Structure 1
Amino acid sequence: MKVDLIIAPIRELHTLQGRSGPRRGRDHGDTGVIRDAGIVVNDGHVASIGPAHEILREHSSELVVDASKSVVTPGLVDCHTHLVWAGDRSEDFVRRSSGISYEQIAAEGGGILSTMRATREASVEDLTDSLLSRIELIRSLGTTTCEIKASYGLSPEGCRNELDAIAAAKSKTNLRIAVTFMAAHAYPPDRPQEDFVELIRSELLPMAAGHPAGPSFNDVFCEVGAFDVETTELILRAGIELGLTPKVHADEFNVLGGVELGCRLGAASCDHLLASGAHQFRTLAESSTVAVVMPGTAHYLGKPYADARAMIDTGCAVALGTDFNPGSSMIPSMPFVLGLAVSKMKLTPEEALVAATVNAAAALPDAIPEGVGTLAPGAPADLCLWPARTLGEMVWQYTFIRPTQVFIGGRAA
């Protein structure tokens, strides 16, 4: 049978096929590995997988890729980024080296607010160009699906410009993009706090829900110095009424109840969780909400890492993201995040890969095609070839590894 693409032989293929939904418990380390494997792609989707000799005997193609010296995985899914921004936070970075905390810098009007000012001043064209450059960067590092937050405008025009940039970028890239609206990232200094909350509920959320960028989610930063639990609930419920699924930046620095609120409201994910403990882990484990951890943020800020090992052992569905942003995680590389998850959070390479593929996709429900994050028959043919003999060797090279080839929808990216 003639097909569009054959990749065979493959030294080590991680299919991530199995039961639907996010992996938990013992399943969290099941990557569906097949050695000396082959994969058939037709019409942008995985047509079949199996032993290499059978694949090559039963199929033919004008495009056959030899992966006998490669690990092949699904394309990586980065389920938490802030890719739209303008400006520079290098001064914040340098100040932290002298012992000034992220929270103190934010309280002094730096941090998110400095990015707000620069983003508001940028044109849609400039925002789009910088966003496309970042998209190309993360794709070269193995990310084939990502979530992008509109999170720095903090005004009607600023938020609209961010969404316009995302919509423009979506039309110019084959990277799969899920969009999150996050007006509730910080309180802007040019408006009373109560007025800003009302603006979000009455004007910004309705604008976002109808925007061509097509946001699926509404995210709130529930934290000391940002939005308290009661206000977070008001904003999330306003989004729910407009069809936007909740997400929560929760327990990044302090435990305020954001995890419990997110799980109660059916949030797609609660993200960060650096300060979370056993009670929050049990709450997440008993819910459908995905626990998104981002070791790059802890690494970048010099904070303790989220206890992802305990989360998995408690039964949470754990996902990984970069949190790529200018202030607290200038880290675009999902392979680097996998390496931190193994070296600092004590996940196995297999658990980390699950968290960066099928579980990360589960944190983006209904926003991306079904099957993203796996290479099961029928799934989109989003995959990466890595210059390694085993998954362990791939993750071992986490500070510098890049895929040798990336395919999105069966096409070389």
Structure 2
Amino acid sequence: MKPLILIVGYLVVVTLPLAISWWVGGPPRQFQQELASGMGILAFSMVLIEFILSGRFKAISNGVGLDVTMRLHQIMARTALVFALLHPFLYQGTPSGGQRPWDPTRALTITTDFSALSSGIAAYLLLPSLVVLAIGRTQLGFKYETWRLLHGVGALLIAMLLWHHTVNAGRYGSQPVMSWVWLAMTGLAIGSLLSVYLLVPLLQKARPWRVTSVARLTPRQWEVTVKPDGHRGLDYKAGQFVWLNVGNSPFSLKENPFSICSAPAAGPELSFMIKELGDFTRTIGQIRTGTVAYLDGAYGNLSLDGRTEPGVALIAGGVGLAPLLGILRQMRLTGDSRQVKVIYGNRIIDQIAYREELDAENVFYVLQEPPETWHGETGFIDSALIDRVFTEIEFSEWVFVMCGPAIMMDTVEDHLIERGTPSQRILSERFSYD
């Protein structure tokens, strides 16, 4: 239900400038010209709301999941691109308009004043580049920090160019009411960007953390633990994640999202299970105790708080164990007596982390490449394995929480729904899309 509320709210806000433009009105024009204006208005409003969707606002993301807001962000960016690309090709007639001596009735749509058109042309060229760069970031080999800087600066430049073009060249945008609407929406968009890059770092600077330990879990997985330095710590729910910045200025772009594998009931220290993958994670073992760290969070809705199902299924692939381990630890520390089953998949046996702790639970280990002495499950976490582990009653009554590779979660979610598990009892968060 919450994702539906987000989508409905999004549609209301995005179409508001279109509705006000229709209310402002003007001399009748051909349908194709009205369609062109409508697409331009929608494209601009979508671009501005993209700033809000990507702004890490907990009131939005924690209600539906940051993965849902980011997926909506991606889909709507591509939709806005289509509208923007079609917008200029739908106009008909001689290009003139606005408050010009040759068009006092403002019956036409755009102006021959190149200064008003140039900003729209620049945005027209930049927007596809921004979207393509976002889609192909991994293939193009950009470092995350470099891409994030380019993405933020590019989005800000596009917003400013579109504002100038809309209020100077648009038939509706130059109306006093619409000029104020666009100014307010552009101000909110820029404000959300400043919140992420300026306000949040300022707040982080006043609440530093210190690394207390760095421990190797497996050949390529580490546990990093931090404690609050001069403050009481972080309010969070088991299963949530934060953006972690270790050893850099709070204004640095070198921060990464990591799930918390410790439990709130264990105290103010936070632990993270981190796998060596990128530039930062490959240097985890070099971090010294006492190093300053900054946290932005907590985010996510992968939480059992307030849920009353009689059993809990935790399904993890690789480092996806981290948030589920936090949930499991919280249940044990708070005396939660519900039955728990854990499925934990890895490629090889050396990748299994926290085995001593997990062996005390009802756990099913799965290995893709098992040794000859292996007596556990083999292959992948698939529908056949799920059917062997869970009963009909558990499918219908338990809550299923999962984290891991996208293909694993797709397979498990589809099968759970086929077996009659209500969608509201399937919890997951995704951070990798096409």
Question: TM range, normalised to the smaller chain?
Answer: under 0.3
Between structures 1 and 2, the one with greater strand share: 1
Between structures 1 and 2, the one with greater helix share: 2
What TM-score do the two structures reach when normalised by structure 1?
Answer: 0.23
Higher Rg of the two aligned structures: 2
What TM-score do the two structures reach when normalised by structure 2?
Answer: 0.22
